[in-house]
Chain A
Amino acid sequence: MSAADERLEHYVSPEPFEPYATEKLTPEQERFYRASQWQIMWWKFKRHRIAVIAAAILLVFYASTLVSENLAPYNLHTRDARHIYAPPQSIHFVDEGRFIGPFVYGYGMKLDMQTLNREYTPDPKLIYPMRFFCRGDEYRFWGLIEGRFHLFCPAEGGTLFLFGTDRLGRDLLSRIIYGTRISLTIGLLGIAVSFLIGITLGGISGYYGGWIDNIIQRFIEMVRAFPELPLWMALSAALPVTWSPLLVYFGITIILGLLDWPGLARAVRSKLLALREEDFATAAVLMGASPKRVIARHLLPSFTSHLIASATLSVPGMILGETALSFLGLGLRPPVTSWGVLLNEAQNINAVALYPWIMLSVAPVFIVVLAFNFMGDGMRDAADPYR
């Protein structure tokens, strides 16, 4: 028998064909395939546990800037002349076997006649229970509405310096809480400036190509060759002394943003150049889309996620930059209080040797910079969800 005789007859099943029945998608698969790009990114980001924790921490920090006045136990400028350079008070709950609730011991102060140093010791006779949801120092909420409500305050006539006090007897914790508002927003505003310049120049460079691209690229190389900090120093020294602290604040953000954009512009350009050649971009052009539509509708969405991730990674640089400038006395000036301004007080070696708690202002800088780095890493990994 030959093979030809074995051939099957042409056969079509009379039953109706149901494509979904043969290639059954599991619910998870279906969810994945139907999800939008941003949804997948979010799932992927969620898997990066450290990044999520970092994001939560940053959220808390940023949320605190909305209600700094209520969180801080003291007003930014409240001075306690009797407690200068007082060390941190720790919170206790039990005094000699008796439960009181959260309280601190008052200070016993002694002047060392040889070094003229004030020496503080906890005085077990003075018990100052903390008050919660209480009326304390007056403040103007966001500089507008007067109020006295605090989340927690010192006992009447008592003290509550959880992070100690500075050379004028001001509560460090309160000052750090107020400083958060300035330091965190400076990073965001700086990024906004840098984004604006970076996207514009990078976009022009990548879209037009040719000699414009060449010039912009050379310019970027030049800006990158500048050592940042000396340039920041020179620029911020150029801010007129007569400016109000608020104007100086905006001036500094612009200066920080002014030097940060080259990296971003490069990223935008290289992404544009690469995506321009992709099939979907060609298809859009062939279907008669205008350049504006191609860029805004097809190219931009493909790399906004990358841009956001890289922007996140450059926020900490700005926060550190502000800190460094203020530390040198070239950045923000009192009464505007940022973490850098606070650290300015830790500038001499005495602070390290005698009043180490002054350096606590570095803790939030540290936490926020770390959190931004971890979150940025997570976002960068999630930015390309189809890989």
Chain B
Amino acid sequence: MLNYTIRRILIMIPTLVVISFLVFVIIQLPPGDFLSNQIAELKSQGDTGSLEKVEFLRRQYGLDKPFPERYATWVGIWPGDRGFSGLLQGDWGWSFEHDLPVKDLVGQRMLLSFILNFSVILFTWAVAFPIGVYVATHQYSWSDHGLTLLGYVGLATPNFLLALVLLYFANVEFGLSIGGIMDPEYLSQPWDWAKVRSVLTHLWIPVIVIGTSGTAAMIRRLRANLLDELQKQYVVTARAKGMPAFRLLVKYPLRMSLNPFISDIGNLLPSVISGSAIVAVVLSLQTSGPMLLEAIRSQDTYLAGSFLMFLSLLAVIGTLVSDLLLALLDPRIRLSGGVAK
């Protein structure tokens, strides 16, 4: 197991290197940069005095350097003006627009992002598991058809729209403040119980909205897996010998069909993060999504880059966790050393 873990973690390193490179390329793709936009604006205002300041900033942020050097400095394997100071050293760069270190800007948001995504996954499991088992054991019943249909509906509704509608009804019915992940007055306060409670009362809308499609997919997969398992010989044998239905279900087939639950964290996490990005924009949650969108729009290179990097890191770690759990659960994977499927 230790061997497997080490190998799995080693694979992560080249993955992260490639991802960081792709991220950096992508955020540099738009023509010009934040400062050149700034310059154009200043020129149109006829403010030439500030132009020098902008040029100074350009030099300071190293935007005049060639691309590979900028990338290396950003990652932290090449000395910039302040020595080695990049992602590897824990320096996430500088946000042009907010004129603050990215780290100060995003710490809180990343925490909330993490809480949100984590809750969505818990929600997905908590809902998909009982429903999946129920529909598999009641195949072709009305509840099966009904829940399947509901799943399809969840799959087909764009979740930003669902977010809007739920938001509206939550406001009308429960008087919840529009938007945000907590009541506005708690935003700048330190964490205490009142704040946690406020977050909890607001969290359910985005969690439901983001979780729906993932839940629907998970139910379908669990149903298919469990149905396959239930038709196997050993189940028939156990049934013929008079084993109680519930005990039979829990003891063998259920355990076998649990694999997708674990291995799905890896698949689920990127899609959950995707979903939460857009839903967060609609609901104006104080998570990473809206800030990322704005950073991308204003070409705030390092802010956008660090966000993308953070989200990818979250997904990669999720895959790692799911692979490790799967290996723990299933000795075949652990022993053959293959990458979990």
Please give the residue numbers on chain A whose beta carbons come within 8 Å of chain B beta carbons, in ascending order: 218-219, 221-222, 224-231, 233-235, 237-238, 240, 316, 320, 323-324, 327-328, 330, 343, 346-347, 349, 351-353, 359, 362, 365-366, 369-370, 373-374
- Hey, what's the 0/1 contact readout for B95-136 against A, CB within 8 Å counting as 1? 000000000000000000000000000000000000000000
* A366 touches which of B157, B160, B165, B269 (Cβ 8 Å): B157
Stretch of B186-194, B225-233, B307-315 lying at the A interface:
B307-315
23 pairs across A/B with beta carbons < 8 Å?
A218-B11, A218-B14, A221-B339, A225-B315, A226-B270, A231-B308, A233-B277, A233-B296, A234-B296, A237-B296, A237-B297, A238-B26, A240-B30, A323-B158, A324-B160, A324-B278, A327-B160, A328-B293, A343-B160, A346-B164, A349-B167, A351-B164, A370-B155
B274 touches A227 (CB 8 A): yes
Cα(A218)–Cα(B14), bound, Å: 9
CB-defined contacts of B339 to chain A, threshold 8 Å: 221
B26 touches A234 (CB 8 A): yes
Cα(A119)–Cα(B168), bound, Å: 21
A370 touches B152 (CB 8 A): yes
What is the distance, in angstroms, from B34's C-beta to the closest C-beta of chain A? 13
Question: Which residues of B from 44 to 89 have beta carbons under 8 Å from A?
Answer: none
B321 within 8 A of A: no
B242 within 8 A of A: no
What is the distance, in angstroms, from A42's C-beta to the closest C-beta of chain B? 24
Closest to B220 in A: A377
Chain A interface, >50% SS class? helix
Closest to B313 in A: A225
A231 touches B26 (CB 8 A): yes
- Hey, what's the 0/1 contact readout for B162-191 against A, CB within 8 Å counting as 1? 001101100100000010000000000000
A324 touches B270 (CB 8 A): no
CB-defined contacts of B153 to chain A, threshold 8 Å: 366, 370
CB-defined contacts of B292 to chain A, threshold 8 Å: 230, 233
* A238 touches which of B29, B164, B271, B307 (Cβ 8 Å): B29
B277 touches A225 (CB 8 A): no
B282 within 8 A of A: yes
**Which 4 A-B pairs give the minimum distances between C-beta atoms?**
A238-B29, A229-B274, A227-B273, A369-B156
A226 touches B168 (CB 8 A): no
* A320 touches which of B158, B273, B277 (Cβ 8 Å): B158
CB-defined contacts of B308 to chain A, threshold 8 Å: 230-231, 234
Count A/B pairs, Cβ under 8 Å: 127
B274 touches A369 (CB 8 A): no
Most B-side CB within 10 Å, residue of A218, A222, A233: A233
B258 within 8 A of A: no
CB-defined contacts of B270 to chain A, threshold 8 Å: 224-228
Knowing A225-B319, A227-B270, A362-B157, say if A237 contacts B15 (CB, 8 Å): no
B307 touches A230 (CB 8 A): yes
Q: How large is the interface on B (under 10, 10 to 19, 20 to 34, 35 or more residues)?
A: 35 or more
CB-defined contacts of A219 to chain B, threshold 8 Å: 18
What is the distance, in angstroms, from A23's C-beta to the closest C-beta of chain B? 32
CB-defined contacts of A346 to chain B, threshold 8 Å: 161, 164
* A328 touches which of B30, B278, B304 (Cβ 8 Å): B278
Knowing A324-B160, A327-B160, A349-B168, say if A229 contacts B31 (CB, 8 Å): no
B324 within 8 A of A: no
Cα(A306)–Cα(B288), bound, Å: 38
What is the distance, in angstroms, from B35's C-beta to the closest C-beta of chain A? 17
B208 within 8 A of A: no
Question: Which residues of B from 245 to 294 have beta carbons under 8 Å from A?
Answer: 266-267, 269-271, 273-275, 277-278, 281-282, 289, 292-293
A362 touches B282 (CB 8 A): no
Knowing A218-B15, A238-B30, say if A327 contacts B278 (CB, 8 Å): yes
CB-defined contacts of A351 to chain B, threshold 8 Å: 164
CB-defined contacts of B31 to chain A, threshold 8 Å: 240
* B273 touches which of A224, A230, A238, A374 (Cβ 8 Å): A230
Knowing A349-B168, A366-B157, say if A226 contacts B296 (CB, 8 Å): no
What is the distance, in angstroms, from A205's C-beta to the closest C-beta of chain B? 15
B164 touches A366 (CB 8 A): no
B165 touches A229 (CB 8 A): no
CB-defined contacts of B275 to chain A, threshold 8 Å: 229
* A324 touches which of B158, B269, B311, B319 (Cβ 8 Å): B158
CB-defined contacts of B319 to chain A, threshold 8 Å: 221, 225
What is the distance, in angstroms, from A226's C-beta to the closest C-beta of chain B? 6
Cα(A222)–Cα(B12), bound, Å: 9
A222 touches B18 (CB 8 A): yes
What is the distance, in angstroms, from B111's C-beta to the closest C-beta of chain A? 18
B15 touches A222 (CB 8 A): yes
What is the distance, in angstroms, from B52's C-beta to the closest C-beta of chain A? 27
B316 within 8 A of A: yes
A316 touches B156 (CB 8 A): yes
CB-defined contacts of B27 to chain A, threshold 8 Å: 234
CB-defined contacts of A225 to chain B, threshold 8 Å: 15, 19, 266, 270, 312, 315-316, 319
Cα(A219)–Cα(B156), bound, Å: 30
What is the distance, in angstroms, from B27's C-beta to the closest C-beta of chain A? 6
CB-defined contacts of B18 to chain A, threshold 8 Å: 219, 222
A352 touches B160 (CB 8 A): no
Knowing A226-B270, A324-B160, A373-B152, say if A352 contacts B19 (CB, 8 Å): no
CB-defined contacts of A234 to chain B, threshold 8 Å: 26-27, 29, 296, 304, 308
What is the distance, in angstroms, from B82's C-beta to the closest C-beta of chain A? 27
Closest to A221 in B: B15
CB-defined contacts of B29 to chain A, threshold 8 Å: 234-235, 238
Knowing A226-B270, A229-B277, A237-B30, say if A349 contacts B312 (CB, 8 Å): no
CB-defined contacts of B30 to chain A, threshold 8 Å: 237-238, 240
Cα(A320)–Cα(B271), bound, Å: 13
- Hey, what's the 0/1 contact readout for B207-250 against A, CB within 8 Å counting as 1? 00000000000000000000000000000000000000000000
What is the distance, in angstroms, from B334's C-beta to the closest C-beta of chain A? 19
Cα(A352)–Cα(B26), bound, Å: 35
CB-defined contacts of B178 to chain A, threshold 8 Å: 349
Knowing A221-B15, A346-B164, say if A227 contacts B158 (CB, 8 Å): no
Cα(A240)–Cα(B299), bound, Å: 13
What is the distance, in angstroms, from B237's C-beta to the closest C-beta of chain A? 25
